[in-house]
Amino acid sequence: MNDTETTKPKLTVGLEIHRQLDTDHKLFCGCPTEFAESEPESSFLRRLRPTQSELGQIDQAAMFEFHRGRSILYESDHKTSCLVEMDEEPPAKLNHEAVEACLTAALLMGAKPVDEIHVMRKVVIDGSNTTGFQRTAVIALDGALKVDAKTIPITQISLEEDAARKASQSQTAAGYRIDRLGVPLIEVTTGPVLESPGEVEKVAYAIGSVLRATRKVKRGLGSIRQDLNVSIPEGALIEIKGVQELEILGKAVELEVNRQQTLLAIRKELSSRNLKPNQIERKYVNLSKLFLNSEARVIKAAMARGGVALGVKLPKFKSLLGRELGPGLRFGTELSNRASFWAGVGGIFHSDELPAYGISETEVTAVNDQLGLAVEDAFVIVADDNAKAKDALDAVVDRANEALVGVPEETRTAMPDGTTRYMRPRPGAARMYPETDVPETPTPEEYIATLRAHLPETPDKLAKRLMDQFSLNQKLAKQVVDSDYLSLFEQVVAKGTVPPTFAATFLTETCKSLERERVAVHIVPDAKIEAMFQLMAKGAFAKEAMPDLLKWQVSNPNLDPSEGIQNLGLQMLSETELERVIDRHIEKNKKLVETKGQAAFPSIMGSIMSEVRGRTDPKLVTETLKKRLASAA
Amino acid sequence: MPQEELSGYVGLAHELLSKVGARIGDRIRLELKRAGRQEVVEGLLMPRYRTETEENYVVVKLKTGYNVGVRIDSSSKITLLGKGQQPQFTRPPPPSQKPGLPKVSIVSTGGTIASKVDYRTGAVKPALDAEDLYSVVPELADLADIEANVLFSLFSENIGPQLWPKIAEFVADQARKGADGVVIAHGTDTLGYTAAALSFALTDLPIPVVLVGSQRSSDRPSSDAASNLLAATAVAGQAPFAEVVVAMHDWISDEKVAVHRGTKVRKCHTSRRDAFRSVNQKPIAHYDLIHHTLNLNTTHYRERRKGATLTVKSQFDPNVALIKFYPGISVGIVDWATATGFKGIVLEGTGLGHVGEALFSSLERAVNDGVVVGMCSQCIWGRVHMNVYSTGRDLLRIGVLPLGDMLSETALVKMMWAFGQEKNPENVKKIMTTNLANELSDRREVEAHIE
């Protein structure tokens, strides 16, 4: 170990990559793995009841949700879900295609398949599963991946069912759409050995390449979700759920390190201000009278509904509530997120952000007086019905007390920008028990041997083959391997009509930049993209028009690309048509041609090209125009 | 049951495990020779649920909580690393009992209306007494003052005429002891039969008797057990009627529980929560799970008369057969039943109540031998009407008894009960055609059909 490693605070990160498998049907039923395009056709209400278990094993948050009387509204349609997703029929056998995809990925990572696969029920009662548990099974253990000469342990490869999608949410019911429920997900877990944001991203890429090599993974936004377990010395193990894009993994880690460091700085500041744990009290003051004539919309609305404005003093917290923990995230935000989780209140107001939101300077002073605030103290106000407001302030006081500890262990949810928000307390020991409705699936030695003998190429070998076979340069070959379009690329170039370098560039760089412009390229079926390439190879349109045609295809995913060519006017000009255009331009510039002869070429060429670009080969225009000018002279 | 010492293990696995004295829940190490290499797996020994396929697997729970099956052979070595700890179920303090609530007796016959999971082994343990029930379904304390009993623990396919008298006597006892209502938890497969049996055995019932079950096992968070039980308890304590009813989900949503008459209800789906349907009439009531209200669908019912005397007629004679007619049926089936000494046959005929004429002579012999032959329809919904086609008229001439809109299962139970009360076939015929517990109705409203 060298010096820098021992002196620098050591960051450790573990990664869990979940990726949807592109199987013919879902994990435990015959439904397709495609998502609903239509509006939901029916809905049903459910309540999930925490199952009684050993002492201390009841999920506090789950129990809380249940006693709050929340129901869950599930929305469905007949194409994407059946009785199994509705928990109205026992699951069918484990989908063999999905098992095989996982085993393939596992063998590619040198992991050991388990002898017999046992499906488990992992209790999750937030509503994302109609059953109240997620079905999950270990497929293989103890693999490894080499990334930049470092061996990364792959501790577990498992197969699980995807959860329902969050839909609407109301005061009384959380809403979920069940089309996604039951889609097979492969989960790859690394050991907690990653030490930098850059390394996290590299490992995620490497795992992604292996998964794609199985040719069984779905692509596009939402098909991949990453969870991170981040810890720093003196901080806490924070579980970050649902990072959707690989590119922000590193940023999410960086931001989490920064958040934990800032929380540690706040702890230091609080102890230097001499704050003692028992000083933050659950003592709430009814402040409603102070806001009778207030301009504050939220408070007025709450009081009009019969609610109250309650306040609590947070001693020694002045200026710390406004302390930034990350972009758009202040310590006050953490208090507010806790309040909304435990009490379902819309939000809180804290003294560091006031006067604002219609709360005046005078009102702030009055609150200070009423709560008996000293110079270093801060306050939090919440307006809602009395019981909810109290619950909210309980959550605020608890979180404020945790500031003395530093970083509370919790599960956080990732935002698209890489920042995180409080999601729920970290679950205790996994509440898992066997899914007895699904028979065990043995993986006989001969079967594993056959799979091992027919493994797909590893990403490295694949890149090498693409370079040899299609004369792609190394960068492009790697891009294809790392992209979601590997199989499509191979299909497109199989006939030998489409230039491989063009296909590779288009499918990686062009598609990526279109996705960045929010063009949902991933929704276009492979067959349509392939047809576009073949039409282009046949000369039906110019390759420069491919991006435009693809954009059209995104808006018309079910139409034939030849219709797009018609629609966008991309048809190639026939030679006669081209000659006619050239003649027209010569005629228009008759004087120029007469005076300048061949020297008129650049200006006429320019005006012709602006008319026919994308519909003809520029070389042909040059040749024909030169000939015409020669004969005109 | 998974709690047993080496539950599910046979053959080599059992041999190796018992040699080291391993029990379910113990921490063990497995050393395996695999392709010349040594592999080691450690974890908690778990029960094995299926043994029919492969004997040579040991199931262990890894420290992540996942179970995996490990293949063993005679070269495998098992070491016992430590004894497992028994899980501690600590009851939360019972909710405070409100005064003035009705007394409801909850009795279990099998399955589990409420249960606890041992996440260590996956074992599901039933909640057995009132305290257990309150701790698993605390809302019960708002509805009733509960007494809980276990009558037996059987899958419902094992409950039949031999046990119906015990259930009936138990209910009668509870009524005499002052219960305001009785809830019977029962496996769903034959729940409809038991409901019909109690309807006939307890015709002058003074209080409601509510049978309840669940279509999703009670160990899972999404189970319908707790909501059905809550509705059943509310009905038992509050309903104005004194009838035998079945309380089960009205639809797949946790919003409403339908209360079906015990003679008019049938399990019509293998797995849905709303498997039970009232046939040929609407459910007698619905219990609204959101607003906690009982909404009656009819004003015609026998009224609650707490304290009234109750006579139990709980004898059933199992020598009655239910025979479904199908194209190509062998006449031997009817002949066999007659020769074997069956006293009655309920035919599930086609349509309005028909069987093929090939069966006529066998039926004639049966009737002439004194066998009571009744006719129901395999259509399930609607009544038999044997005067419309000549086949029906021929069957009437033979002496087949049309049983109106009685469900064939209810007719079977009723005939067993009738023979339990009466030896004379002519009296049994009279009983069969007399409405005793709403099993026969004289009109069918248009809404009373599958939605």
Give the model confidence (pLDDT) of B69-87 as tens digits: 999 999 999 999 998 876 6
Question: Does a structural domain hold residue B439?
Answer: no
Distance (Å) of CA A627 to CA A575, A597, A601, A604, A622: 14, 12, 11, 13, 9
| Residues B392, B256 share a domain | no
Query: By CA distance, what is A112's nearest residue in B?
Result: B39
Using an 8 Å CB-CB cutoff, list chain A residues near B136: 52
What number is the average pLDDT over the span B259-276?
Answer: 97
- Residues paired with residue A330 on neighbouring β-strands, in sequence order: A324
What number is the average pLDDT over the span B429-450?
Answer: 93
Structure tokens at B336: 């066999």
The owner of tokens 């497109």 is A492
Inform me whether the pLDDT recorded for B8 exceeds 90.
no
Q: Supply the DSSP string of B129-197, one letter for each residue.
A: SHHHHHHHSTTHHHH-EEEEEE-----GGG-STTTHHHHHHHHHHHHHTT-SEEEEE--STTHHHHHHH
Average pLDDT, chain B: 91
Q: Supply the DSSP string of A9-69, one letter for each residue.
A: PPPEEEEEEEEEB--SS-SSSS--SPPP-SPP-EEEEE---PPB-STT-S-HHHHHHHHTT
| Residues B406, B284 share a domain | no
- Quote the pLDDT of residue A487: 86
Q: Which of A52, A116, A432 has its CB closest to that of B69?
A: A116
Question: Does a structural domain hold residue B37?
Answer: yes
- Residues paired with residue B30 on neighbouring β-strands, in sequence order: B41, B78
Structure tokens at B338: 């007659």
Distance (Å) of CA A511 to CA A483, A488, A507: 10, 13, 5
Do A429 and B65 lie within an 8 Å CB cutoff?
yes
Inform me whether the pLDDT recorded for B4 exceeds 60.
no
Structure tokens at A346: 């819309």
For chain B, percent of residues with pLDDT exceeding 90: 75
Q: How many residues does chain A have?
A: 633
- Quote the pLDDT of residue A6: 41
Do B253 and A439 lie within an 8 Å CB cutoff?
no
| Residues B392, B324 share a domain | yes
Using an 8 Å CB-CB cutoff, list chain A residues near B252: 44, 86, 88
The owner of tokens 């039906």 is A540
| Residues B239, B127 share a domain | yes
* C-alpha of A605 from chain center: 48
A68 touches chain B (CB under 8 A): no
φ/ψ (deg, to 5) at A55: -55, 135
Q: Is B390 exposed, middle or buried (0-12, 13-18, 19+ CB in 10 A)?
A: exposed
Query: By CA distance, what is B32's nearest residue in A?
Result: A115
The owner of tokens 């094995």 is B48
- Quote the pLDDT of residue B202: 96
CATH of residue B411's domain is: 3.40.50.40
The owner of tokens 């020694």 is A316
Confidence class for position B54, pLDDT limits 50, 70, 90: low
**Known catalytic residue at B267:** yes
Task: Please pick, among B26, B118, B142, B189, the residue that the annotation labels catalytic.
Answer: B189
Distance CA(B346)–CA(B375), nearest Å, equals 6
| Residues B177, B263 share a domain | yes
C-beta atoms surrounding B84 within 10 Å: 16
| Residues B201, B276 share a domain | yes
One-letter identity of residue B117: V
| B264, B296, B328 - which closes a domain | B296
Do A118 and B68 lie within an 8 Å CB cutoff?
yes
- Quote the pLDDT of residue A4: 40
In the three-class reduction of DSSP (H, G, I as helix; E, B as strand; rest coil), residue A403 is classed as coil
- Nearest Cα residue to B101 out of B295, B237, B288, B210: B237
| Residues B369, B250 share a domain | no
Residue B35 belongs to domain spanning: 11-82
Query: By CA distance, what is B135's nearest residue in A?
Result: A52
Q: Which of A52, A112, A125 has its CB closest to that of B116?
A: A52
Structure tokens at A167: 């839909």
**Known catalytic residue at B298:** no
- Nearest Cα residue to A140 out of A154, A126, A122, A127: A154
Inform me whether the pLDDT recorded for B125 exceeds 90.
no
CATH of residue B63's domain is: 2.30.30.520
Structure tokens at A394: 């309980």
| B261, B296, B331 - which closes a domain | B296
| Residues B279, B217 share a domain | yes
- Quote the pLDDT of residue A558: 84
The owner of tokens 């301009």 is A295
One-letter identity of residue A489: F
Do A118 and B59 lie within an 8 Å CB cutoff?
yes
| Residues B248, B190 share a domain | yes
- Quote the pLDDT of residue A54: 45
Give pLDDT tens digits for B216-238: 988 888 999 999 999 999 999 99
List chain A residues with pLDDT less than 70. Answer: 1-9, 52-65, 67-68, 169-172, 428-430, 632-633
| Residues B352, B209 share a domain | no
Q: Which value, to the nearest 10 degrees, does the dihedral of the CA atoms of residues A27, A33, A37, A40 take?
A: -10
Confidence class for position B322, pLDDT limits 50, 70, 90: very high
Question: Does a structural domain hold residue B225?
Answer: yes
Give the count of domains, chain B.
3
- Quote the pLDDT of residue B424: 96
CATH of residue B119's domain is: 3.40.50.1170
Do B219 and A131 lie within an 8 Å CB cutoff?
no
Using an 8 Å CB-CB cutoff, list chain A residues near B222: 46, 48, 87, 130-132
**Alpha-carbon torsion (A158, A161, A167, A173), positive or negative:** negative
Inform me whether the pLDDT recorded for B128 exceeds 70.
no
Query: By CA distance, what is B272's nearest residue in A?
Result: A88
Query: By CA distance, what is A83's nearest residue in B?
Result: B272
Using an 8 Å CB-CB cutoff, list chain A residues near B270: 89
**Known catalytic residue at B188:** yes
**Alpha-carbon torsion (A326, A329, A332, A334), positive or negative:** negative
CA atoms within 13 A on the CB side of A211: 28
> How many CB pairs below 8 A link A and B?
144
Distance CA(B57)–CA(A557), nearest Å, equals 50
Q: pLDDT higher for A579 or B50? A: A579
Do A112 and B59 lie within an 8 Å CB cutoff?
no
Contacts of B271 by beta carbon, 8 Å cutoff, 6+ apart? A83, A88, A89, A90, B215
In the three-class reduction of DSSP (H, G, I as helix; E, B as strand; rest coil), residue A208 is classed as helix
> What is the helix (H) or strand (E) element at residue A326, kind and residue range?
strand A324-326
**Known catalytic residue at B434:** no
The whole-angstrom distance between A168's CA and the closest CA on chain B is 17
The owner of tokens 């209810």 is B410
Question: Does a structural domain hold residue B78?
Answer: yes
ipTM for the whole complex: 0.93
Question: Does a structural domain hold residue B122?
Answer: yes
The owner of tokens 């069969």 is B432
Do A51 and B219 lie within an 8 Å CB cutoff?
yes
Question: Which A-chain residues 130-169 have CB contacts (< 8 A) with chain B?
Answer: 130-133, 136-138, 141, 156, 158
Contacts of A285 by beta carbon, 8 Å cutoff, 6+ apart? A310, A311, A312, A370, A371
Do B67 and A434 lie within an 8 Å CB cutoff?
yes
- Quote the pLDDT of residue A64: 67
Question: Does a structural domain hold residue B306?
Answer: no
- Quote the pLDDT of residue A512: 87
Distance (Å) of CA A596 to CA A589, A626, B434: 11, 13, 116
| Residues B183, B75 share a domain | no
| Residues B348, B213 share a domain | no
Distance CA(A613)–CA(B395), nearest Å, equals 88
Task: Please pick, among B61, B109, B112, B414, the residue that the annotation labels catalytic.
Answer: B112
The whole-angstrom distance between B393's CA and the closest CA on chain A is 43
Distance CA(B113)–CA(B148), nearest Å, equals 12
Using an 8 Å CB-CB cutoff, list chain B residues near A44: 251-254
Nearest-10 crossing angle of helices B408-421, B191-201: 40
Question: Does a structural domain hold residue B450?
Answer: no
Contacts of B164 by beta carbon, 8 Å cutoff, 6+ apart? B194, B197, B198, B201, B314, B316
Distance CA(B343)–CA(B319), nearest Å, equals 6
Structure tokens at B82: 């430590």
Do B68 and A90 lie within an 8 Å CB cutoff?
no
Distance (Å) of CA B282 to CA A140, A266, B207, B323, B446: 53, 66, 21, 27, 10
The whole-angstrom distance between A346's CA and the closest CA on chain B is 25
Task: Please pick, among B188, B194, B338, B410, the residue that the annotation labels catalytic.
Answer: B188
A436 touches chain B (CB under 8 A): yes
Distance CA(A593)–CA(A432), nearest Å, equals 85
Whole-structure pTM value? 0.87
Distance CA(B370)–CA(B344), nearest Å, equals 9
Distance CA(A619)–CA(A625), nearest Å, equals 10
- Quote the pLDDT of residue B2: 39
Question: Does a structural domain hold residue B286?
Answer: yes
* B178 conformational bin, left if phi > 0, alpha if psi -120 to 50, beta if neither: left
Say if CB A573 and CB A581 are below 8 A apart. Answer: yes
A50 touches chain B (CB under 8 A): yes
Inform me whether the pLDDT recorded for B1 exceeds 60.
no
